[in-house]
C-alpha cells in the first residue's frame, strides 16, 4: 500500500504546478509508471482518486492518464541491454518486493545476464514520473 505515498507525491506536484502557473483547470496529467517498480495500477489509481479528494483537487475523470513504461537495463561493463521482466533473470518474490519499495535495490538482486555485473544503468521504466501536466489558464 505504499502506492498511496507515491500517489500523494503526484497530487502534490499537480497542486504545486497549479499554484506556480496559475492554472484554472487541469485538463491532463500524464503519469508514467516504470515497470521496474511493479506498482499495482489498480491501487495506484484508487489512491490517486482518494488523495485528490483529500487535497480538494477536482479533475475530469479521464484527465489522469497512467501509462506503464517498459523497463530497460543496460550493463555499464559489457553494454548488454535487457529488461527486469526477462524471465531468465527475474529476481524472486522477496527481492522483487524490495525493488518495489526502492527500485535501485535492483542492483542488489539483479545481475547482467551476459557478464554477471551488478553495475548497470536503469535506462527507462524505473518508477513514478510525471510526463506532462496541461491546463487552462
Partner 1 sequence: MDPRLHIIDKRLQDIKRIIAVSGGKGGTGKSSVASVLALALAKEGYRTGLLDLDFGGPSAHVILGVEGLFPEEDKGLIPPDASGIRFMSIIYFTGDNPAPLRGKEISNAIIELLAVTLWGELDFLIIDMPPGMADTALDVIRLIKRMEFILVTTPSKLATEVTKRELAILQELRLPVLGLIENMLTGQRAGTAAKVAGDRTAFLGSIDFDSTLEHAIGDVDKLLQTGFAKQLSLCHPFK
Contacts with partner 1 by CB under 8 A lie at 1-2, 4-6, 8-10, 12-13, 16-17, 47, 98, 101-105, 107-109, 118-119, 122, 126-130, 133
Work out the number of other CB atoms within 10 angstroms of the CB of residue 121.
Answer: 11
> Residue 122 binds which one of Zn ion, partner 1, none, with CB within 5 to 8 A depending on kind?
partner 1
Least distance in angstroms from the C-beta of 73 to partner 1: 12
- Whose grid coordinates read 488523495? 51
- Whose grid coordinates read 526502492? 102
DSSP 36-57: GG---HHHHHHHHHHHHHHTT-
Candidates 72, 70, 61, 66; CA nearest to 123 is: 72
> Residue 104 binds which one of partner 1, Zn ion, none, with CB within 5 to 8 A depending on kind?
partner 1
> Residue 113 binds which one of partner 1, Zn ion, none, with CB within 5 to 8 A depending on kind?
none
Least distance in angstroms from the C-beta of 78 to Zn ion: 3
Amino acid at each position: 500500500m505504499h502506492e498511496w505515498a507515491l500517489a500523494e507525491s503526484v497530487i502534490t506536484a499537480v497542486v504545486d504546478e497549479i499554484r506556480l502557473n496559475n492554472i484554472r483547470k487541469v485538463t491532463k496529467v500524464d503519469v508514467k509508471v516504470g515497470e521496474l517498480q511493479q506498482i499495482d495500477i489498480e491501487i495506484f489509481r484508487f489512491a490517486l482518486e482518494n488523495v485528490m479528494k483529500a487535497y480538494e483537487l477536482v479533475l475530469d475523470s479521464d484527465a489522469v492518464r497512467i501509462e506503464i513504461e517498459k523497463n530497460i537495463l543496460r550493463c555499464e561493463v559489457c553494454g548488454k541491454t535487457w529488461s527486469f521482466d526477462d524471465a531468465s533473470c527475474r529476481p524472486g518474490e522477496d527481492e522483487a518486493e524490495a525493488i518495489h519499495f526502492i527500485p535501485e535495490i535492483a542492483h542488489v538482486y539483479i545481475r547482467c545476464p551476459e557478464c554477471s555485473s551488478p553495475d548497470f544503468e536503469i535506462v527507462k521504466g524505473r518508477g513514478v514520473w510525471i510526463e506532462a501536466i496541461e491546463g487552462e489558464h
